[in-house]
Amino acid sequence: MSALSTVLVPIHRAGWPFIAGFAAASALFFSFSQLLGWLGLIATLWCVYFFRDPHRVAPQRDGLILSPADGRVSMIALTTPPPELGMGEAPMRRISIFLNIFNVHVNRVPADGSVVTAAYHPGKFLSASMDKASDVNERAAVRLKLPDGREIAFVQIAGLVARRIVNTLRDGQQVRAGERYGLIRFGSRADIYLPPDVQPLVIVGQTAIGGETVLADVASAEPARSGRRN
């Protein structure tokens, strides 16, 4: 791998209209103010950075559930999955991952399986760090049937700044762990709901890498991790 390839990370196609808009505005600003022009250039470079889409290598062992997003594990709790997925009211263990504006915002499928339901729910734009954001914020939720018949759910949640969720999955679609499936623009949260008998292998405060960090293993009887990282 060349040194250049480690710097020139691919850009997600959803970002190019924004990058082009920032670049055009910067050129306009330079025509009447050097200061505004440089500020616009900085904003353009930040936009390039925000929409980066780095290559990821997903673990291949059967039964692993991977993080759907980059970010910090902000909460682990027992709660009911989104009602639009039709998974009932029995509580499931939810792992919440908070994405700040500097994280990679491309989302990845957490496990092999078949999409049972992909649903969009309009809502508010509260801070994604709040617990009730899972219930009241705009979101796109996916119910996924695993090869062993168990089901998980994963959800993209808009935040205070995020105003656009991209989810390309459709009902009946076969997916593989680590595949790109969407993006949330400008700060957000990703939730994943585990089967009742599956324990999380991460703790609150831990940093997760989308498509690579193992959140849980459905084939393991290992107890849940304990502790918290500040």
**What CATH number is given to the structural domain containing 201?**
2.70.70
- Do 103 and 207 reside in the same domain of the chain? yes
CB crowding 64-98: b at 16 or more within 10 Å, else e:
bbbbbbbbbbbbbeeeebbebbebeeeebbbbbbb
- Could you give the 3-state DSSP secondary structure of residue 43? helix
- Do 122 and 71 reside in the same domain of the chain? yes
What's the pLDDT at 4? 45
Query: Is 114 considered catalytic here?
Result: no
Q: With respect to residue 224, please indicate whether it lies within any of the assigned structural domains.
A: no
Q: With respect to residue 187, please indicate whether it lies within any of the assigned structural domains.
A: yes
- Do 100 and 18 reside in the same domain of the chain? no
- Do 68 and 119 reside in the same domain of the chain? yes
Q: What is the pTM of this model?
A: 0.85
Element (H, E) at 4: helix 3-7
> What total number of domains does the chain contain?
2
CB crowding 99-122: b at 16 or more within 10 Å, else e:
beeebbbbbbbbbbbebbbbbebe
**Shortest CA distance to 97 belongs to which of 221, 14, 211?**
211
- Do 155 and 132 reside in the same domain of the chain? yes
Low-confidence ranges of the chain (pLDDT < 70): 1-8, 126-129, 161-163, 186-187, 230
- Do 39 and 95 reside in the same domain of the chain? no
What's the pLDDT at 108? 95
What's the pLDDT at 225? 73
Distance CA 48, CA 228 (A): 33
Query: Could you tell me the two tokens for 125?
Result: 């734009």
- Do 115 and 33 reside in the same domain of the chain? no
What's the pLDDT at 161? 64
Q: With respect to residue 226, please indicate whether it lies within any of the assigned structural domains.
A: no
Task: Share the mean pLDDT of the chain.
Answer: 87
According to DSSP H, which parts of 14-116 are helical?
A: 16-30, 34-50
Distance CA 138, CA 214 (A): 26
Q: With respect to residue 112, please indicate whether it lies within any of the assigned structural domains.
A: yes
Domain extent at residue 9? 3-50
- Do 183 and 85 reside in the same domain of the chain? yes
| List 96, 188, 220, 226, catalytic entry | 188
Q: With respect to residue 29, please indicate whether it lies within any of the assigned structural domains.
A: yes
Element (H, E) at 133: helix 133-136
- Do 79 and 26 reside in the same domain of the chain? no
Q: With respect to residue 139, please indicate whether it lies within any of the assigned structural domains.
A: yes
Q: With respect to residue 56, please indicate whether it lies within any of the assigned structural domains.
A: no
87 residue type, one letter: M
Q: With respect to residue 223, please indicate whether it lies within any of the assigned structural domains.
A: no
- Compute CA 227 distance to the chain's CA centroid, rounded to the nearest angstrom: 23
- Do 68 and 46 reside in the same domain of the chain? no
Query: Could you tell me the two tokens for 97?
Result: 């991952």
- Do 45 and 70 reside in the same domain of the chain? no
Distance CA 122, CA 103 (A): 24
- Do 200 and 92 reside in the same domain of the chain? yes
Domain termination site, one of 28, 50, 72: 50
Q: What angle do CA 41, 42, 47 make, to 5 degrees?
A: 95
